[in-house]
Structure 1
Amino acid sequence: MTLNQLSKQAPFTTKDGSTIRSILDRTNAPVQNQSLAEATVPVGQPTDRHYHKLSEEFYFILEGQGTMEIDSETRPVGPGDAILIPPGAWHQITATQTLHFLCCCAPPYAHEDTYFQ
């Protein structure tokens, strides 16, 4: 059985500029097909607009408010919102209040699968 505690996971900054703590991924568990992380974006900050060639992502907003842009469509987001980001979709999230959200990726998140303009 693999059981990881969020509080024991060290935060790091991803290529898009968000701060994440990996809950379950290839670095801390025998993960093969997906990853789960908690992400934080500070108030007034956007992530860098990017896409992933391979990974499909889900964001699930836990706290805060912001705007989510996927392929030039922008919507407000807040607690309880679940967001699907298909592979190849350009996306960016901006915090109007500090955002905390879960990010699931399949296949697992990898820096090498993050592309910018």
Structure 2
Amino acid sequence: MPMTVNNLADQDPFTTKDGSTIRSILDKTNAPVQKQSLAEAFLPAGCATDRHYHKLSEEFYFIVSGAGKMEINGEEKLVGAGDAILIPAGEWHQISAQEDLSFLCCCAPPYQHDDTYFV
């Protein structure tokens, strides 16, 4: 299989079901990905994702810049640049931005709209 190299600047942004704006860096839409996905997410200051969970995907968030508050199953923590957050599959979660917030999101298995639940 040939090497896959995708540049973030070449990826078009879109809004996920939870309300964040992301650019997919590597996923099934732009690479021969099988077991995970990587995206950059952005939330403007004062905004938050809709509280949700994923039945299948475990997620990692890595905060690149900005500051916010992460909530997982009712537990809240302030987060900022350099913080890595584990979101186990099935856990309710929401992130809110106190400053413009940029973070990387890795999902395994790969992110799918159909695996985002609100009720």
Please report how far the alpha carbon of residue 110 of structure 1 lies from its aligned counterpart in structure 2 after TM superposition: 0.1
Q: 2:81 & 2:46 partners in 1: Cα distance? A: 17
Q: Report the equivalent of 1:102.
A: 104
Q: Report the equivalent of 1:42.
A: 44
Q: Report the equivalent of 1:114.
A: 116
Q: 1:87 & 1:41 partners in 2: Cα distance? A: 22
Give 5+ residue unaligned stretches, structure 1.
none
Structure 2 residue matching 1:50: 3-state secondary structure: coil
Q: Report the equivalent of 2:91.
A: 89
Identity within the alignment, %? 73
Q: Report the equivalent of 2:65.
A: 63
C-alpha distance after superposition, 1:45-94 (max 9, x if no partner): 01000000000000000000000000000000000000000000000000
Q: 1:114 & 1:71 partners in 2: Cα distance? A: 15
Provide TM-score, normalisation by structure 1. Answer: 0.99
- Residue-pair matches, total: 117
Q: Read off the aligned partner of 1:81 and give its amino acid letter.
A: D
Q: For 1:13-32, what aligned pairs fall within 5 Å after superposition?
A: 13-32=15-34
Give 5+ residue unaligned stretches, structure 2.
none
* Alpha-carbon RMSD: 0.3
Provide TM-score, normalisation by structure 2. Answer: 0.98
